[in-house]
Structure 1
Amino acid sequence: MLDIKKIRRQPDWFKEKLATRGTKPEEIDEVLDLDAKRRDLLQQTETMKAKRNAVSKQIGDAKRANKPADDIIAQMRDLGDQISKLDEQVEKVEEEFHDKMSRLPNVPHKDDPVSLTEEGAIELRKVGHIRDFDFEPKHHWDVGENLGILDFDRARKVSGARFVYYLGLGAQLERAVYNFMLDEHMKEGYTEVLPPYIVNAASMFGTGQFPKFKDGVYQVNGEDMTLIPTAEVPLTNYYRGEVIPEEELPVKVTALTPCFRSEAGAAGRDTRGLIRMHQFNKVEMVKYTKPEDSWKALDSMTANAENILKKLEIPYHVIRLTTGDMSFTASETRDLELWMPAQHKYREVSSCSNCLDFQARRMHTQYRGKDGKLHYVHTLNGSGLACGRTVAAILENNQNEDGSVTIPKVLVPYMHGVTKITKENAVPFRNKH
């Protein structure tokens, strides 16, 4: 949520900055008009209430003096009716104002590349050696299906499109991946959390998914409860409505959770494989910091995500997203994209974002500084990493001509010593004899 006081002071600046994110100038004007109307109604209400208090005193004085007070009581009732009507108007305008404000995105950083599409993102660095295959590399879904460790057909039968069964060493590989990720983040000082997977509407509002992106989630129990689209939601809302002791900052937490997304608008995109699923596992990182520390925190969070890919020896690059492509709540987003040899391109596996105080204002999450005043914290989030996409990259980058897949060295201990997935060892119940 943006600061309405700042919008009042610099409306043209906000119009210019938010236009780079697709916000129309009239949307700012609507917010300012509602704000002015809201403040005018509140002033009228306060004036009426002050008048009612004065009339109430007159009634008391008249009764103590044994004087008739019928006219004054009638005036009191009339004022009460006027106040009730004004209160109703205030409530209606407040609701509309809050809705309009909640749909304005965060202000982009001054150095973010300006574009309303993903075109124009800046490549910050490229890391790792892209393997030169002496055979035509297969797509990860072909590798996985040929080994028998990925079963999309039976998942479609049971649940529908964009679901998968992991089997045998495929399931073990995904488990190895997320356990390795969690261990690495804990080495960097993150506290592991096992959060709820279902959250209420207030939590979805707090991190910015509601009200604008309701069509992208799965809601249960009417409209109040939602399956989490990312662990960012329960992790960031942990301190919602609270004042964090300053000495506890920065807070760094990480969690593995399933994520559930309806993928609305994704028809025809990535219909095969592990890239765009309705249900997938992801390790998330979240930080709460003081304002002066958040940009360094973004650098370190990005490094934490990169550390995983470096140790897995998966080629990747880091890009700075455009103003129109980054998340609604972010002021800056850096994406890590890993190399997919069969597709001959990089695919996103992590987004690391600094949201400044945007989410904290929505959640009312603050800390008390040394000056004794309350300040909003800054929140950051990043994938550390999306597990299915990481598995997909391992299958493609580490495939062999005979169809087997070599396990990255750092994962061998998590695979109980298995160094290669073959048709013979992939799914034990299919290879009993």
Structure 2
Amino acid sequence: MFNQTKPNSYPTFFIIINIIVNFNDNHFLFSSHRTQQPSSFLFPVLLCAAMGRGLGVVLVLLAVYCGLDPFQHSPIAHFPDFEVKRVDMPAWSEVPTDQDKHNLLQKSEIKFANQVQGPESIAFDPLGRGPYTGLADGTIVFWNGHSWLHFAYTSPNRSEICNPIASATPFSYVKNEHICGRPLGLRFDKKTGDLYIADAYFGLLKVGPEGGLATSLVTEAEGIPLRFTNDVDVDTEGNVYFTESSALYPRRNFLQLVFSGDDSGRVLKYNLATKETTVLVRNIQFPNGISLSKDGSFFVFCEGVVGRLRKYWLKGEKAGTSEILAILPGYPDNVRVNEDGDFWVALHSRRYMYAYYNGIYPKMRKIILKLPIPIKIHYLLQIGGRQHAAVIRYSPEGKLLQILEDSEGKVVKAVSEVEEKDGKLWMGSVLMPFVAVYNLK
């Protein structure tokens, strides 16, 4: 997130200018040679030498500034143990090139503008009511057809610092979200009406149809605390599947997680009857969305940094194994199954060569990250210069069936999730203050 203070470049600029001016004054304007009149030939030579020396000083100072980062503008300046790993990128030739040349997502309707801050996940209850969504202030709200109502919250430590802020943005709450909670993935149990919640800081939780304070179910696995719980799904047999994006980085440092290539992510299962938690897949680079198949024989989950959709078999001869289902044209957030059994994948952004080479060359990536460049600039370089939107529908076999885009980000940006209901796509975004709705018919 951009929760870091925007750096002020003016002090550095004036320091460099003052040094250059003083250097030139001392060596040329006030030297003993000033009393002598240079010849018409010598004057341009001296001028060029002065300019060359001044440029050399600028380059030296710039190199020193970049190397020392005295104002700690680097996105990893406050992470002394920051390490980078090679991202398991597919070959560039394997990346799909499919596009929506008509930018159909620009026909989407923007709903609830500035009424909801950072609605990552969209859910409808077993009676079809909603949507429900989790917000940046740590609450889960419900649309009753006329207005948003408070439904639930995840943190038992809520206080006045968690109250909604006037003229807020999704980033206004980042500094307190470890206290107030940050609900991300939401899923209803269609039998009981219970809502399962993946909260980035408070782990896996559940709240009944009446709402209120959610009950904590899982906060650690194998003795390791959940650091960044992300998404969740529940089957008909009393099992809850969820992802932990990292065991090292919390959500408020998700960009450092992306830049590091950290592979401490896990996919887990919680059994409601035995209350046991099992790690199904480990050592994943930013596992994100998760969704069971229509028949419950497998689930798919997104590898956020790698840009893949992976299938994990729950039944049959391959039970307990996983395989690549699809290489994606970008970096995914959540994934949701529709009534036909297809999977809608929300891409945070498409792939670009800058991010690709940064992924496969970790040493180069770390050198770049050490430069005193604001984290927002690194983020924009990673996503190709501007926020945009893409959602893709895949078959259960991994075939790309449909792609919808707003490549210019004119209407829809940074989609986190796509929920298909009654011929419409409901799109949430963890970074935006609205919900977008696209009519498929």
What TM-score bracket applies, with the shorter chain setting the length?
under 0.3
Larger Rg: 1
The TM-score, its normalising length taken from structure 2, stands at 0.26
Higher fraction of helix = 1
